[in-house]
């Protein structure tokens, strides 16, 4: 399962948010503390910003700067591999059958694979898997596993705000496991307490609940949409969801209240917002393994593993991890191997770096990359940190992007003198037909438009403009 999870995650950088995470991480490493204001934008420079992923960002930046971009891909593979290794181990504890645990973990990995990118939430997947594993071990043994949850939650709260999902799971266990209620309650109270020991204190606990209730985010940001089952990327999630329902209905074993609560809670979250599908995959896979084993108990006899096979199974993840790390450490053009140049405005950012500081309106998706390449000399209009901007700024951006009535007025009000957007988009076509704007740069990914100098006759291009408009500047 480690190998499967790692293999599914070995892809180049595609996350538009990775870049502002790296830039933030560098600031944290330089100053020793996360920023509390929106430093990267000229549209909301004083707006409060909860940098709830500060420890992940510092980790990512340190790895990138010391080992190169390929090491981040290796890190992603190691984390995702570890997630489903832990999920498989939990499934084995629940089912007693290795093939059931492996099948369920594979189904979970397939369901969640569309989210496997280098972002702090992959650490939440690992922390949730570890949290649920420790809860189940404590349920079965009554040992000290519950105390291990306390340092886990301290680290989790500093890595990513998804720790609130773990606190909810621990609270559910406290309510549904009466034999362990006292020890789980102590663990819950201590874990909640140490979760406040972050630079954000109580705001880190409230932040994820606050963001998930902002309709503007959930209605306009793709990762907050409900799953679209017409997309092949979500067929794995659909299969996992249906398999879980069918197996629960057919299983001769009744599900525990804890398992039912996990399935209902994380199932609801994943159907409401597709970004939560991996949480359901991590929570559901061990339950799936248990009921798959119960259903097959009388039809498929258990096959015990020999000591040599068991030893090989234990050592394989360590060997695989070393091979993956060696294979992805930077050599040659590491940037070309790990970054999709057709996704990011690489050439446009290079061009902008040769220009004086501008008041720039940029694509939301490209804001993070432009922050990485151009900050602090150049600040952006907007980037992927939607929560770091007033909702009015996001609405203004959408007005321009969608060419809604008044979009030119938005550019005037913010005194925009440069627009960086996707080549072939409606916005670029509108600016190309507007005599007040001139094409300054074009490549295969992006176009950069600048305001025409005052007094220039409408429709008159400079010699460079004539070349650009002829399409020979690519």
The pLDDT of residue 330: 44
The pLDDT of residue 343: 85
The pLDDT of residue 213: 80
Q: Residue 158: which residues within 8 A CB-CB, separation 6 or more?
A: 54, 55, 198
The pLDDT of residue 334: 45
Q: Give the pLDDT band of residue 320 (cuts 50, 70, 90).
A: low
The pLDDT of residue 396: 98
- β-strand pairing of 446-451 with 360-362: unpaired
The pLDDT of residue 309: 58
The pLDDT of residue 183: 96
- State the Cα–Cα distance between residues 409 and 414, nearest whole angstrom: 9
Region 433-442 average pLDDT: 97
| CB contact at 8 A, 364 and 397 | yes
Q: Give the pLDDT band of residue 227 (cuts 50, 70, 90).
A: very high
The percent of residues in the chain predicted with pLDDT above 70, rounded, is 84
Nearest Cα to 65, choosing from 27, 31, 121, 37? 27
Reply yes or no on whether the pLDDT at 463 is more than 80: no
The percent of residues in the chain predicted with pLDDT above 90, rounded, is 73
Region 340-349 average pLDDT: 87
The pLDDT of residue 468: 44
Region 34-55 average pLDDT: 96
Summary mean pLDDT of the chain: 88
Encoded tokens for 167: 């606190």
Reply yes or no on whether the pLDDT at 185 is more than 90: yes
DSSP per-residue codes, 363-384: -TTTHHHHHHHHTTTS-BS--S
Q: Is the sign of the CA dihedral 159, 165, 167, 170 positive or negative?
A: negative
CA atoms within 13 A on the CB side of 49: 22
Q: Give the pLDDT band of residue 469 (cuts 50, 70, 90).
A: very low
Reply yes or no on whether the pLDDT at 44 is more than 80: yes
Cα angle for residues 335, 340, 341 (degrees, 5° grid): 85
Region 119-143 average pLDDT: 96
Reply yes or no on whether the pLDDT at 465 is more than 60: no
Reply yes or no on whether the pLDDT at 474 is more than 90: no
Q: At 48, phi and psi to the nearest 5? A: -60, 145
Region 177-203 average pLDDT: 95
pLDDT tens digits for range 149-179:
999 999 999 999 999 999 999 999 999 999 9
Region 310-335 average pLDDT: 51
pTM of the model: 0.88
- Could you tell me if residue 379 is left (phi over 0), alpha (psi between -120 and 50 degrees) or otherwise beta? beta
Out of 24-33, 83-92, 341-350, which region has the weakest mean confidence (pLDDT)? 341-350
The pLDDT of residue 323: 55
| Helix/strand number for the chain, H first, E second | 22, 4
The pLDDT of residue 327: 53
Nearest Cα to 281, choosing from 3, 33, 5, 34? 5
Nearest Cα to 73, choosing from 326, 318, 333? 326
The pLDDT of residue 461: 46
Answer with the residue of higher pLDDT: 203 or 378.
378
How far CA 313 is from CA of 93, 95, 133, 287, 310, in Å, comes to 16, 18, 19, 22, 5
pLDDT tens digits for range 280-296:
999 999 999 999 999 98
Reply yes or no on whether the pLDDT at 298 is more than 80: no
Region 53-79 average pLDDT: 94
The pLDDT of residue 467: 39
Answer with the residue of higher pLDDT: 303 or 66.
66
Region 385-408 average pLDDT: 96
Region 143-150 average pLDDT: 93
How far CA 235 is from CA of 120, 230, 232, in Å, comes to 24, 8, 5
| CB contact at 8 A, 1 and 109 | yes
């Amino acid at each position: 399962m480690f190998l499967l999870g790692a293999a599914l995650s070995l892809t180049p950088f595609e996350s538009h948010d990775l870049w502002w995470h790296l830039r933030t991480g560098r600031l944290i490493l330089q100053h020793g503390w996360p920023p509390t204001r929106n430093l990267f934008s000229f549209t909301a420079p004083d707006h409060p910003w909860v940098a709830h992923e500060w420890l992940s960002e510092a980790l990512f930046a340190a790895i990138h700067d010391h080992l190169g971009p390929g090491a981040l891909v290796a890190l992603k593979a190691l984390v995702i591999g570890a997630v489903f290794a832990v999920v498989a181990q939990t499934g084995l504890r629940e089912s007693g059958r290795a093939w059931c645990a492996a099948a369920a973990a594979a189904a979970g990995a397939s369901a969640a694979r569309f989210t496997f990118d280098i972002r702090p939430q992959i650490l939440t997947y690992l922390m949730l898997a570890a949290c649920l594993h420790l809860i189940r071990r404590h349920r079965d043994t009554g040992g000290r596993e519950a105390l291990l949850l306390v340092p886990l939650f301290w680290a989790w709260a500093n890595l990513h705000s998804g720790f609130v999902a773990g606190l909810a799971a621990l609270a559910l266990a406290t309510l549904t496991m009466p034999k362990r209620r006292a020890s789980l309650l102590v663990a819950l109270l201590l874990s909640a307490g140490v979760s406040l020991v972050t630079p954000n204190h109580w705001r880190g606990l409230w932040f994820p609940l606050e963001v998930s209730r902002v309709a503007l985010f959930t209605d306009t940001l793709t990762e907050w949409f409900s799953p679209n089952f017409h997309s092949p990327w979500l067929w794995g999630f659909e299969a996992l969801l249906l398999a879980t329902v069918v197996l629960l209905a057919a299983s001769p074993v009744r599900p525990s209240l804890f398992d039912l609560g996990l399935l209902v809670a994380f199932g609801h979250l994943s159907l409401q917002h597709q970004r939560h599908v991996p949480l359901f995959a991590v929570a559901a896979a061990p339950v799936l393994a248990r009921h798959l084993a119960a259903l097959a108990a009388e039809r498929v006899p258990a096959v015990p593993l020999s000591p040599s096979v068991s030893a090989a199974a234990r050592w394989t993840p360590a060997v695989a991890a070393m091979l993956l790390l060696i294979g992805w450490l930077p050599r040659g053009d590491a940037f070309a191997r790990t970054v999709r140049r057709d996704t990011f405005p690489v050439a446009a950012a290079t061009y902008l770096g040769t220009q004086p500081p501008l008041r720039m309106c940029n694509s939301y998706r490209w804001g993070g990359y432009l922050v990485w390449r151009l900050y602090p000399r150049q600040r952006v209009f907007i980037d992927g940190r939607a929560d770091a901007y007033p909702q009015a700024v996001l609405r203004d951006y959408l007005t321009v992007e969608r060419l809604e009535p008044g979009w030119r007025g938005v550019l005037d009000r913010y005194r925009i003198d440069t627009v960086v957007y996707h080549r072939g988009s409606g916005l670029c076509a509108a600016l190309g037909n507007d005599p007040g704007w001139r094409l300054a740069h074009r490549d295969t990914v992006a176009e950069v438009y600048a305001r025409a100098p005052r007094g220039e006759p409408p429709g008159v291009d400079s010699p460079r403009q004539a070349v650009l408009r002829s399409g020979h500047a690519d």
